[in-house]
Amino acid sequence: MKRAMQYRISGRVQGVGFRYHVQVAARGLGLTGWVRNLSDGRVESVAEGNPAQLEAFANELHRGAPLSRVDAVDAQERGIEGFDSFEIRY
């Protein structure tokens, strides 16, 4: 059963390749959605997939990119939009 989750990640997550890391992880897991920087220094992502894919994705968000430092990942379920791919939004 497909689900959609929204994540807001805080810490040192901008300017360290975090969005690219998230995109590669999401695509590798077969997820669709997007990731973008927020003006307050956090990163936001929306991902759609099955529960196992989303759990693996959340684990990857907590792990972060090599140069990042993840302090918190806030997640909430949301409605499915039916994305075709996983993109970085600017």
Residues marked as catalytic: 19, 37
Q: At what angle do helices 51-63 and 18-29 cross, to 10 degrees?
A: 160
Q: Please list, in sequence order, all residues whose beta carbon lies within 8 angstroms of the beta carbon of residue 33, skipping any fewer than 6 positions away.
A: 4, 26, 45, 46, 47, 48, 83, 86, 87
H or E segment to which residue 48 belongs: strand 43-49
Q: Nearest 5 degrees, angle CA 75-CA 53-CA 90? A: 60
